[in-house]
């Protein structure tokens, strides 16, 4: 399902830099995601061999709860390992934010949006309802 490269669109890629006195700040790309499935990979040329944590990716949504966006789901992101995430709790549209550890001096963050197949909870639910209706018709219910 995920192996077709034409089903993925790179929506963001940037290199972040920080220092001891001015660590890498949390970033929030401008892209608004419409798919519940996204991909992320974080690399660092300056990371030590023992580092496994790249940071945390948060789903953020519009909510009338005060200043700024409200955090939905938060996911641990490993360093160097491409990760596919399906956000389940809050539907699209949404944005994301990424926070690297304070000790990072440099990292490159790349984000992709999955555009192939049925990928939203609403679409999944609609398909399940259609399947149930078809089964009822088959058994005379």
Q: What is the CATH number of the domain that holds 99?
A: 2.60.120
Cα(47)–Cα(68) distance, integer angstroms: 31
Q: What is the pLDDT of residues 95-110, one digit of tens each?
A: 999 999 999 999 999 9
Owning domain of residue 25: 5-138
**Residue partners of 126: CB distance under 8 A and separation at least 6:** none
Number of domains in the chain: 1
First-to-final CA distance of the chain? 33
Residues facing 13 on adjacent strands: 110
Give the β-pairing of 106-114 and 8-17: antiparallel
Average pLDDT, the chain: 90
Q: How far apart are CA 129 and CA 72, in angstroms?
A: 27
Per-residue pLDDT of 24-65, as tens digits, reads 999 999 999 999 999 999 999 999 999 999 999 999 988 777
């Amino acid at each position: 399902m995920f192996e077709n490269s034409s089903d993925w669109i790179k929506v963001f890629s940037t290199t972040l830099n920080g220092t001891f006195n001015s660590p890498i700040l949390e970033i929030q790309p401008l892209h608004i995601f419409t798919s519940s499935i996204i991909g992320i990979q974080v690399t660092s040329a300056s990371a030590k061999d023992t580092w496994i944590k790249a940071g945390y990716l948060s789903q953020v949504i519009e909510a009338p709860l005060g200043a700024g966006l409200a955090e939905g789901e938060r996911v641990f992101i490993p360093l160097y390992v491409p990760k596919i995430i399906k956000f389940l709790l809050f539907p699209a549209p949404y944005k994301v934010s990424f926070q690297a550890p304070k000790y990072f001096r440099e990292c490159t963050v790349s984000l992709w949006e999955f555009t192939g197949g049925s990928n939203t909870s609403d679409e999944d639910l609609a398909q399940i309802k259609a399947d149930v209706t078809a089964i009822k018709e088959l058994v005379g219910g």
